[in-house]
Amino acid sequence: GENVEQHPSTLSVQEGDSAVIKCTYSDSASNYFPWYKQELGKGPQLIIDIRSNVGEKKDQRIAVTLNKTAKHFSLHITETQPEDSAVYFCAASIKGTYKYIFGTGTRLKVLA
């Protein structure tokens, strides 16, 4: 069945450094790839998304890249800040279905 693999499971970076989280999806019909940030005790919140007809998208310090051929997509956070510390989830979905398949999450710690 459909699967999304996410790596690493934990990531520690120094404040100001960059962080990269990678995901791989299995279903070639996937066409929408959102990233969610979950702070402690809260529900996940969308931070950025990308659709299959786009290779890269940026929003200030956050960027997402998509390689459809390799079925990879990645989240890039530059100039990390302590408030970036959270759990990040990637997901993939297929147009016309109910399916959002989530990765297993990455716990990011930004060390001051």
Partner 1 sequence: IAGITQAPTSQILAAGRRMTLRCTQDMRHNAMYWYRQDLGLGLRLIHYSNTAGTTGKGEVPDGYSVSRANTDDFPLTLASAVPSQTSVYFCASSGQASTGELFFGEGSRLTVL
Residue ranges binding partner 1 (CB under 8 A): 6, 9, 31-32, 34, 36, 41-46, 49, 51, 89, 91, 93-105
Nearer Cβ to partner 1 (85/93) = 93
Which residue from 98, 105, 104, 106 is spatially nearest to 32, judged by alpha carbons?
A: 98
Nearer Cβ to partner 1 (78/94) = 94
To the nearest whole angstrom, how small is the minimum distance from the Cβ of residue 19 to partner 1?
Answer: 18
Nearer Cβ to partner 1 (13/102) = 102
Task: Report DSSP letters for the chain, one per residue.
Answer: ---EEEE-SEEEEETTS-EEEEEEE--TT--EEEEEEE-TTS--EEEEEEETT-SEEEETTEEEEEETTTTEEEEEE-S--GGG-EEEEEEEE-TTS--EEE---EEEEEE-
To the nearest whole angstrom, how small is the minimum distance from the Cβ of residue 97 to partner 1?
Answer: 6
Question: Tokens 């800040």 correspond to what residue?
Answer: 81
To the nearest whole angstrom, how small is the minimum distance from the Cβ of residue 17 to partner 1?
Answer: 25
Nearer Cβ to partner 1 (77/87) = 87
To the nearest whole angstrom, how small is the minimum distance from the Cβ of residue 32 to partner 1?
Answer: 4
